[in-house]
Amino acid sequence: MRIVLLGPPGAGKGTQAKVLAQKLQVPHISTGDILRQNVAQQTALGKEAKDYMDKGLLVPDELVTQMLDKRLQQLDVKHGFILDGYPRNLAQAKVLDVMLKEKKMDIDMVVYLDASAQVIIQRLSGRLVCKSCGANFHATNMPPKVALVCDTCKGKLYQRSDDNEETIKNRLSVYRKEVKDLSLYYQKIHKLEHVSADEDPPIVLEKVISLAKQRNDTVKVR
């Protein structure tokens, strides 16, 4: 089963993707993780990306796409994957189509996790991020075992400067404008499913798995 997860910041894409990947026994492919891995492993693409990051610039789409292409060539994606963080726009969706076609693969389902502004503000305003490994925690919903210390790598946790109500509303507005064409594209080819992400994560997960089974009755859940 090959699933793409879409949704605004704070909708819970990363959380759902990790658990869904475990349940369906397929890899979770996150472009954020791929980027960090390439930088940490000092691959040719990682070094190129780090040059942009060190200058405070965004890593170009082309570089991220090349990293994703290499990831999709690995053997563990043969029976499916959960893709999180890509595509972000219509142009990337078309690039992804070509990328997958070359590998004789196709997307089975695109799930749009839609959360209300109120819920997103509550989630993001309490978010804590690890400076070392990028892991996410939440002051209320998912606090670290030790205050401001990452459970995974013991790095220092901090709150992003853009995780405030006004900025979050702006980011949400920008995202919804950007994703409009992308959603219509997947809707026209009958791949899009909408799921409310306002509910608790286990309920959201159950709905996504149910949709996956409707799309493919051979789906096995661990």
- The SS3 of residue 44 is helix
Query: Does 123 participate in catalysis according to the annotation?
Result: no
Q: Tabulate helix, strand, coil % of the chain (nearest 5).
A: 50, 15, 35
Active-site pick, 160, 169, 176, 180: 160
Active-site pick, 171, 191, 213, 215: 171
Query: Does 156 participate in catalysis according to the annotation?
Result: no
- Give yes or no for a contact between 199 and 113, defined as CB atoms under 8 angstroms apart: no
Active-site pick, 88, 191, 213, 215: 88
Give the H/E segment covering residue 49: helix 44-54
Give the H/E segment covering residue 83: strand 81-84
CA angle 172, 29, 7 (to 5 degrees): 20
Query: Does 127 participate in catalysis according to the annotation?
Result: yes
Task: Give the residue from 164, 125, 133, 126 showing the smallest Cα distance to 149.
Answer: 133
Active-site pick, 13, 71, 123, 207: 13
| Residue recorded with tokens 């472009």 | 31
Query: Does 36 participate in catalysis according to the annotation?
Result: no
Active-site pick, 2, 23, 71, 127: 127
Q: Which residues are catalytic?
A: 13, 88, 127, 160, 171
